Amino acid sequence: MGLELTAIGRILDMYPQLLTADPYFDIYPIFDFLLHTVKLPFPEIRKSIARCPRILVSDPEAQLKPTFEFLTELGFVGPNKLTSQTTLLLVSSVESTLVPKIEYLVGLGIEYDEVRNMVLRSPGLLTFSVENNYRPKMEYFLKEMNGDLEEIKRFPQYFSFSLERKIKPRHRLLVEHGFSMPLSEMLKVSDGEFNVQLIEKRLRMAEERRQRW
């Protein structure tokens, strides 16, 4: 299937039971599922397995198929179909993993169709923990940043950034200097670019004050 020996070693170290699995009954059906049901191009199979080796120990009928059907209904079809980057979603439980995340976002007051669009634009949303990711970041966004849900709809990638290492420090710097920025401008740039933006804002403010004097 094109897997490199180094990748195979890492996979077998994670799932040694594969060494005693029957290729015809345990492993080939998974490759067949990825090729003919998910319809991954053959070269993408290797990338999919390397990215999420757990697929190789997942039951196609009990695990992969129900999750695939759920994701298909959610909108992962056509231009949004699963790729080697997103097939890791297939190992998630629909009831205990995927649905609670969607329900949490809907519970914030975001319409289901809007949540669906957010997830299709940023599939990583389905991999984040409600308790460890969504909840603390939303509490900070709403209480400390006085944020508007519309901005979360526009930039759902907000949840992919570290609260302690990036969101809080950058927001506090903006507050300290009396500035504000859209989430995308605040978070997408590197530390160096962010600092440059702060300096430019401070220079513009100083120039505006000078002109008023």
Percent pLDDT > 90 in the chain is 85
Q: Please report which helix (H) or strand (E) contains residue 127, including its range.
A: none
Q: What is the pLDDT of residues 29-63, one digit of tens each?
A: 999 999 999 999 999 999 999 999 999 999 999 99
User: Mean pLDDT over residues 124-133, rounded?
Assistant: 96
pLDDT recorded at residue 19? 93
User: Mean pLDDT over residues 16-32, rounded?
Assistant: 94
Q: What is the pLDDT of residues 144-156, one digit of tens each?
A: 999 999 999 999 9
Q: What is the pLDDT of residues 66-114, one digit of tens each?
A: 999 999 999 999 999 999 999 999 999 999 999 999 999 999 999 999 9
Could you tell me the CA-to-CA distances from 129 to 39, 97, 105, 116, 133 in Å, in that order?
28, 9, 12, 17, 5
Could you tell me the residue ranges of all domains in the chain? 1-92, 93-160, 161-213
- Confidence band (pLDDT; 50, 70, 90) for 2? confident
What distance in Å separates the CA atoms of residue 145 and residue 167, rounded to the nearest whole number? 10
